[in-house]
Amino acid sequence: MRNIVIFLVFLIILVTTLNFSKVSAQDVIEIKQSFKASCLCGNIQTKNGDALGGVSVEILGKNWKKSLQSTMTNSEGFFTFSESKERVYYLRIKKEGFDTLLVRIVINRDEKNDLVINLPVSN
């Protein structure tokens, strides 16, 4: 009986460890280059240019850890935040089956570029 209990505890620890390593299997990619845009809004798409709906877009604190606000892209891959002051924002962009991106967005009202981010498929 004792051997069965020890085996079950070992099995639970093993399964828990495998589940945690499975969570980290998806790559998190920090983009070093800052994106410039006129608003905290944009489109998320595949590398082929197809719109990605249902993508989580979060504003994070400067240390990339604390989530301050979040939204989802619509069916056309578009997202927007009401807050859009001229400053640097840190975003986490994630969707199941795709790599998670950490990006810096510099908001400047004079900027003419639309923000378009390609989300890579995870391996």
Three-state DSSP at 9 gives helix
Tokens of 28: 């998190």
Please give the Cα distance from 89 to 62 (Å, whole number): 8
Q: Tell me the chain's radius of gyration from C-alpha atoms.
A: 19
Which pLDDT tens digit goes with each residue over 86-106?
999 999 999 999 999 999 999
Task: Report, as an integer, the average pLDDT of 70-90.
Answer: 93
Domain ranges of the chain: 27-118
> What's this model's pTM, rounded to 2 decimal places?
0.74
Please give the Cα distance from 94 to 101 (Å, whole number): 7
Percent of the chain residues topping a pLDDT of 70: 79
Please give the Cα distance from 4 to 78 (Å, whole number): 53
27-118, what's its fold?
Immunoglobulin-like (2.60.40)
Q: What is the pLDDT of residue 110?
A: 87
Q: What is the pLDDT of residue 56?
A: 97
| Burial class of residue 71 (count of CB atoms within 10 Å of its CB; 0-12, 13-18, 19+) | middle
Q: How close are the terminal C-alpha atoms of the chain, in Å?
A: 43
Q: With a cut of 90, say whether residue 63 has pLDDT above it.
A: no
